[in-house]
Structure 1
Amino acid sequence: METRSKSEFVQSLLGRTKAFAVRSIRLYRALPKTGEAAIVGKQYLRAATSMAANYRATCRARSQTEYFSKLSIVVEESDETLFWLEIMIEADIMPENKLKHLVQEATELLSIFATARKHSKATKESR
């Protein structure tokens, strides 16, 4: 991958994760006003916004070790985000059709970050 296209890809992911965080805030505001929705919603909101913030921090890593560590946090937060979306659907807090685009984006982001971490680990171990 060329430096320019890699930079564009990173910028694209920064934009996607930030947009996902904003969409997550909007979802949180739209949740039913019930106790369980508040609890699950807060957990979801923390994970989704943390994913975006930690990816931003990953882009500023000062070393390969720090990059791998921060990217591992992004993978964990991405997976947790997807988990809370699944809980919202399975517990009938929100209908699946209203969350399908967020679930799709969370799944895609998790796949991208997990692949990047795997590649980063392989690169680190080959040195």
Structure 2
Amino acid sequence: MSESIIKNKSFHFTIRIVKLYKFLLENKKEYVLSKQVLRSGTAIGALVREAQNAESNAHFIHKLGVAQKENDDTLYWLELLFETEYLDEKEFISMQKDSIELLKMIRSAIITSKNKVNQAVRKNS
């Protein structure tokens, strides 16, 4: 999985999160949960970007691991927004689908990177 695909996907997801935040503020007058989803949702793209500039494989894996955590947090806030009726089913499913797709991409990149590190360690042993 190419990091640029993850970079693009995470950036576009971040844009959707910012638009969701604005929608929640302006249309739903929701000020607390919206900040939580904004914080975790925008962190994903920033962490993916940081991972691309990692100084080592371990640093790359760590940054993507934190992005994975933030993505899972974002899913939690999206679920809570849906269950408390700030998001309708269509809005929720659309955001959830993108978040899960991004989460799978990040997990795949972590697994691939860990496998490469393990292969290099075995090769040098």
TM-score, scaled to structure 2: 0.86
Q: How many angstroms apart in 2 are the aligned matches of 1:67 and 1:15?
A: 17
Instruction: Pick from 10, 14, 17 the counterpart of residue 17 of structure 1.
Output: 10
Contact 2:33–2:81 (CA<8 Å) still a contact in 1? yes
Out of 86, 89, 95, the position equivalent to 1:93 is 86
Q: Which runs of 5+ in 1 are unaligned?
A: 1-5
Q: Could you tell me how far 1:12 is from its partner in structure 2?
A: 2.3
Structure 2 matches for 1:1-127, cutoff 5 A? 9-31=2-24, 32-33=28-29, 37-126=30-119, 127=121
Compute the displacement of 1:115 (Å).
Answer: 2.1
Q: Secondary structure at the match of 1:92?
A: coil
Specify the code of the residue in structure 2 equivalent to 1:20.
F
Relative distance call for 1:85 and 1:29 in structure 2 (3 A) is: same
How large is the Cα RMSD of the aligned pairs? Answer: 1.4
CA distance in 2, matches of 1:107, 1:92: 21
The alpha-carbon deviation at position 120 of structure 1 amounts to 2.2
Q: Displaced runs of 4+ in structure 1, greater than 4 A?
A: none
| Higher RCO by CA contacts (8 Å cutoff, separation 6 or greater) | 2
The amino acid that maps onto 1:21 is: T
Identity %: 27
The letter of the residue matching 2:89 is: E
